Amino acid sequence: MIVGLDVGFGYTKRVTAGGTDIFPSVVGEWTPDAFRLGAGLDRASRPDGIEGVTVDGRSYAVGERALRLAHRRFVGLSRQWIDGAAFRVLVLTALAQGLERPGEHVTLVTGLPVEDVEPHGGTLRRHLEGEHEVRLEPGGRAWRVTIGRVHVLPQPLGTVLAQLLDPMGQLAGPEGLEARVGVLDVGFRTTDYFTLDGLEVVPAHCLTRNTGMADLLLDLGREVYRRWGLEVDPHALDEPVLRGALHIGGEAVPLGAILEPWLDRHAEAISAHARMLWGDGARSLARLWVTGGGGAWLGSRLQALAPHAEIVRHARLQNAVGYFRYGQRLPVMRA
């Protein structure tokens, strides 16, 4: 079975032939037998019945449930986080929610920030390839999966592949195959600037910077605390930013007045690196795709980089879509 998986610092995105899933990349300690009113009243329960996972004897809530219920949370903001337990918990939870039955054999296609593929790709493969057993809560049901092969791509390449390949992994058309294209991938913790020429990576025009939407959310969180005395986890601010309002004391408080200056400031910092890399107007690029959750947030502010800059649809999910479509080609490539 082919799985496209993008484990970002902000969100974990999974794509299979059966559909897609996305949840916050937050893991928290959790006690499965803690008191509760009942599954029918607990809105934090996932619709597929998986409330948490037990890995190596420790139980964890994941995603929205961790944000709401966990008494101690683990959020990855270090680029070495693939060595930690939380990363493996996110991967196994995503697979458990997406696979039809236990014991499946998986080919996993995933990505890392451009500058992390070489130093950390081998570590990621060592952690994930092989057989894994977890227990799914409630009930402690045993669940197994075998990850036979992990393919690690430069993260923004997923967006390129999503544009060039159809859902079966076939080339959708010749456009872009010989062109010089750029991808601006604004994530939660990192931003990637990625350049391809005829589908060959141009290392001199690729960058990874430790700046992303987490910086904006931390700034916004400090401002919310200063104004209203409310501490809000950065992950929990994501949806209010998209809606433009934060619920405080039962009321929806508009965020526009305090949010707009921060959006302008962070968009300018990201754009400055892009202009340094690609030049004014990115004239050397036939296409410039803006992707990632931050790309969708900053929208027209980043489109101002070049007349032909394009915000891809469903930007947060596009890398995972491309990984899956690439995975569809792997049997043909091996033949």
Give start and end residues of each alpha helix (H) in the chain: 64-69, 85-98, 117-128, 157-164, 213-228, 238-243, 256-278, 292-298, 300-303, 318-334
Per the domain annotation, does 228 fall within a domain?
yes
Same domain, 310 and 184: yes
Same domain, 198 and 116: no
Percent of the chain predicted with pLDDT > 70:
90
Per the domain annotation, does 114 fall within a domain?
yes
Same domain, 133 and 91: yes
Residue range 279-294, pLDDT digits in tens = 888 888 999 999 999 9
Cβ within 8 Å of residue 40, ≥6 positions away: none
Same domain, 91 and 52: yes
Question: Distance between CA 22 and CA 36 in Å, rounded?
Answer: 26
How many angstroms separate the Cα of 245 from the Cα of each of 254, 256, 282, 289, 293? Answer: 4, 8, 35, 28, 18
Per the domain annotation, does 40 fall within a domain?
yes
Q: Which of 88, 121, 154 is at the close of a domain?
A: 154
Per the domain annotation, does 332 fall within a domain?
no
Per the domain annotation, does 323 fall within a domain?
no
Is residue 57 predicted with pLDDT exceeding 50? yes
Same domain, 128 and 270: no
Number of other residues whose CB lies within 10 A of the CB of residue 114: 24
44 pLDDT band, cuts 50/70/90, is very low
Range of the domain at 252: 174-315
Please count the structural domains in the chain. 2
Mean pLDDT of 105-114: 95
Per the domain annotation, does 161 fall within a domain?
no
Is residue 71 predicted with pLDDT exceeding 80? no
Q: Can you spell out the DSSP letters for 104-121? A: EEEEEEEEE-GGGHHHHH
User: Which has more pLDDT, 313 or 281?
Assistant: 313
Is residue 128 predicted with pLDDT exceeding 60? yes
pLDDT at 29: 85
Question: Distance between CA 181 and CA 199 in Å, rounded?
Answer: 9
Mean pLDDT of 151-174: 91
Question: Distance between CA 186 and CA 46 in Å, rounded?
Answer: 28
Percent of the chain predicted with pLDDT > 90:
58
Is residue 45 predicted with pLDDT exceeding 50? no
Buried b (16+ CB within 10 A) or exposed e, 272-286: eebeebbeeebeebe
Mean pLDDT of 265-278: 93
pLDDT at 333: 39
Is residue 140 predicted with pLDDT exceeding 50? yes
Same domain, 39 and 150: yes
Residue 120 belongs to domain with CATH number: 3.30.420.40
Best CA proximity match to 65, nearest among 38, 44, 88, 85: 44
Is residue 181 predicted with pLDDT exceeding 70? yes
Per the domain annotation, does 164 fall within a domain?
no
Per the domain annotation, does 58 fall within a domain?
yes
pLDDT at 74: 72
Is residue 43 predicted with pLDDT exceeding 50? no
At which residue do the structure tokens 């409310």 appear? Answer: 230
Same domain, 38 and 179: no
pLDDT at 223: 92
SS3 at position 205: helix
Same domain, 182 and 250: yes
Mean pLDDT of 260-272: 92
Is residue 35 predicted with pLDDT exceeding 60? no
Best CA proximity match to 242, nearest among 265, 222, 278, 216: 216
pTM of the model: 0.90
Same domain, 135 and 181: no
